[in-house]
Amino acid sequence: MDWWGRVKATATVALLAAALQHEARRWRLWGSVGRIPGPLALPLVGTGWLAIVIRPEGLMALLKNIKERHGMIFRMWYGNLAEIHIIQAENIEKVLTSYELITKSVHYKFLKPWLGEGLLTSTGSKWQRRRKMLTPAFHFKILENFVGVFAEKAQVLVQKLRNNADGHEFDIYPSIALCSLDIICETAMGTCVNAQNDATSEYVSATCTVAELTMKRALRPWLYPDFIFRMTPSGRQYYKCLNTVHQFSKQVIKERRQQREHSPNKERALVQDETGVKSRVAFLDLLLDMSMNGENLDDADIQEEVDTFMFEGHDTTAAAMSWAIFLLGHHPDIQQKAFEELNEIFQDSDRLPTMQDLQNMKYLEMVIKEALRLYPSVPFIGRFNSKDSECGGHKLPEGVMLVLHLYESHRDPRYWPDPERFDPDRFLPDSKQGRHPFAYVPFSGGPRSCIGQRFALLEEKAILSSILRNYVIESVESRENVKAAPELILRPIDGIKVKLNAR
Ligand code: HEM
C-alpha cells in the first residue's frame, strides 16, 4: 500500500472508531435515560418534534402538561442530547449545592460568541478564580455608589412616561428595558449611552438585537450549530450587531485605560454625563484596578466580564420589573400598600431615594420577591452532568443536561398554597418558616448563585418606587392572556400593556 493509501486507511479507521464511540455513548444514554418518564421520543429528533409543532407562547403550558403527566423529573431528547428536567426543591438543592456540577449545559454555548468565557459561562478553575476576584465588586459600599445612577435614570424614565400618563393603553416593557440598559451601561462601563433619549443609537439598537437574536436562537435547536446559524439572515444580522457591541466595549476599555495612564494621580476615571463630569466608580474601574494591581487580567478578559454584566444585568432586571408592574397593575390594594410605604419614607418630598430609603422599602421588596416567584426572569438553569449520579430515585448518567425548572418549582403547592395567587405576604418573616430553602431560587443558589442579586433588588426598588410615587398603574391584559416565552429570560411575548394615571 502506498503512503496515500495508508493515510486513507488510517483516516477511515479513525472515523469508524469515532462513529462507534458516538453510537456507544448514545446507546448508553438511551439505556439509562430511556427509563426516565417523558413524552414520546421519535428516532433521530427525539422529543425535538415538540419544539417544531408548539409555538413559543405554548411552551410553558406544554412543560406544565408534561410535568402533570410524567412527574417532577422527566426527560427530553434533542437528537443525541438528553435533558433531565428537575422540579422539586429537594432535587434542585442537590444540583445547585454541588461543587462538582458547576459546568453549564450546552444551552449556554450560544452565549459564548457574545460573552466569551466570562463569569456566567466559564467553569472549573477559571470560574473559581474570577468569582473570587469579582465578589468584592458587589460589596455594599460599591453598590451604594450606584444608587445615584439608579435614581437619575429612574427620573428620566418617569419624565418619559409622562407622555403616556393620560390613561391610554401602551406597552411599558420597551421603556423599562431602555432604562435598565442606561443603568447597566453606566454602572458596568461608566458610559452614558442615553438609551432612553436615543433608542436609535447604533450601540443601543445593536445590543437589543444581539440580546433578542440570542433568545430566538435558544428556542430553535436547529440553529445551535454555528455554521448553520451564520448562513441564516438572523445569523448574519447577529454577527454584524455583535461586532458593533464588541467594538464599543473594546473602545470604552481602551479609552478608560488611557485616561488612567494619563492621570495617574486619579485613582478612578471619571464618568461624564449631561450635567457635567462626576466621579463615579464603574465595574470597569474595579477591573482595571485589579489588572493594575497584579491580577492576571488583560483587556480581553476585562471585556468578557463587562459584556457578561451587560447581558446579565440588563434583560433580567427589565423582565423582573415589567412583571412586577404587571402584577401591581392587577392588584390595586397591594399597589396602594406599597405606595403608602413610600409616602411614609418620603413624606411630601419629591427627593431622589438614598441607599437608606431603598433599604426601608420592605413591603416593596416583598412585592418584588413575589413577582420573581411567579415570573422568575431566569426560568431555567442548565448544568452539565459531569458524573453518574442519582436524583429522585433515577440514575442520571454522565453527559446528560440537567434543566432546573424554576418556573414550575416556584409553583410547588407543598410550599406555595394556591400557587398562582399574587401574595407578597408570603415573604413575611413568619410565613417563610418551614419552607424549603431551595423552593425559591430566582437568583439560583449555591456556589454559582447570581453575583448581582443585591444590585438587582436595589435597582428594582429605585425604578419601581419612582413609578409608584408618580403614577397609578392599571394592567390591561388578564393574567391568562399574557404569555411568557421561556427564552433565556422569561419575557412577555406581546409586552406589558398598561394604563398610567398621574397621582
Ligand atoms: C432580577 C434580576 C436578576 C436575576 C433574576 C438573576 C438571576 C440569575 C441566575 C438565576 C443566575 C444563575 C444562572 C445559571 O446558573 O445559569 C445568575 C447568574 C449571574 N448573574 Fe444574575 N440575575 C439578575 C441580575 C443580575 C445583575 C444585575 C447582574 C450584574 C450586574 C448579574 C450578574 C450575574 C452573573 C455575573 C452571574 C454568573 C455568576 C456565576 O456563575 O458565578 N445578575 N443570575
Closest residue CA from atom 23 of ligand 1: 316
What would the grid cell of residue 503 be?
397621582
In a domain, 294, yes or no: yes
Gap from CA of 377 to ligand 1 centroid (Å): 10
- Cα separation, 33 vs 394, in Å, equals 9
In a domain, 28, yes or no: no
Does ligand 1 lie within 6 Å of residue 102's CB atom?
no
Gap from CA of 66 to ligand 1 centroid (Å): 28
Quote the domain boundaries for residue 246.
34-502
Strands 380-384 and 401-405: antiparallel
What b/e readout covers 458-481, taking b as 16+ CB neighbours within 10 angstroms? bbbbbbbbbbbbbbbbbbbbeeee
Check residue 445 and report its DSSP letter.
-
DSSP per residue, 354-410:
-HHHHHH-HHHHHHHHHHHHHS-SS-EEEEE--S-EEETTEEE-TTPEEEEEHHHHT
- What's CA 149's distance to the chain center, in Å? 21
Residue 226 burial class via C-beta count within 10 angstroms: exposed 0-12, middle 13-18, buried 19 and up: middle
Considering Cα of 4, then 6, then 9, then 12, what sign does the dihedral take?
negative
Is residue 403 a contact partner of residue 67, using CB atoms and an 8 Å limit? no
In a domain, 266, yes or no: yes
Measured at the CA of 268, the angle between CA 264 and CA 274, to 5 degrees, comes to 120
The predicted pLDDT at position 23 comes to 64
The predicted pLDDT at position 203 comes to 86
Gap from CA of 329 to ligand 1 centroid (Å): 26
Closest CA to 33 of 88, 103, 81, 66: 81
What b/e readout covers 106-132, taking b as 16+ CB neighbours within 10 angstroms? ebbebbeebbbebbbbbeeeebeebee
Does ligand 1 lie within 6 Å of residue 26's CB atom?
no
Does ligand 1 lie within 6 Å of residue 451's CB atom?
yes
Gap from CA of 120 to ligand 1 centroid (Å): 8
The one-letter amino acid code at 129 reads: R
- Cα separation, 111 vs 242, in Å, equals 11
Total domain count, the chain? 1
Does ligand 1 lie within 6 Å of residue 378's CB atom?
yes
The predicted pLDDT at position 19 comes to 65
In a domain, 6, yes or no: no
In a domain, 8, yes or no: no
The predicted pLDDT at position 101 comes to 94
CATH number at residue 197: 1.10.630.10
In a domain, 175, yes or no: yes
Q: Which residues pair with 75 in a beta bridge?
A: 84
The predicted pLDDT at position 211 comes to 84
In a domain, 2, yes or no: no
- Cα separation, 66 vs 60, in Å, equals 10
pLDDT tens digit at each of 503 positions of the chain: 777 788 788 888 887 886 677 666 667 777 788 889 999 888 777 787 887 777 777 888 889 999 999 999 999 988 778 899 999 999 999 999 999 999 999 888 889 999 999 999 999 999 999 999 999 999 998 899 999 999 999 999 999 999 999 999 999 999 999 999 999 999 999 888 888 988 777 888 898 889 888 878 877 777 888 899 999 999 999 999 999 999 999 999 998 888 887 765 554 544 444 444 455 678 999 999 888 887 888 999 999 999 999 989 988 999 999 999 999 999 999 999 999 999 999 998 999 999 999 999 999 999 999 999 999 999 999 999 999 989 988 999 898 999 999 999 999 999 999 999 999 999 999 998 889 999 999 999 999 999 999 999 999 999 999 999 999 999 999 999 998 887 778 989 899 999 999 99
Mutate to test the pocket of ligand 1, among 106, 316, 461 (most ligand atoms within 8 A of CB): 316
In a domain, 27, yes or no: no
The predicted pLDDT at position 115 comes to 94
Q: Does the annotation list 192 as a binding residue?
A: no
- Cα separation, 89 vs 411, in Å, equals 11
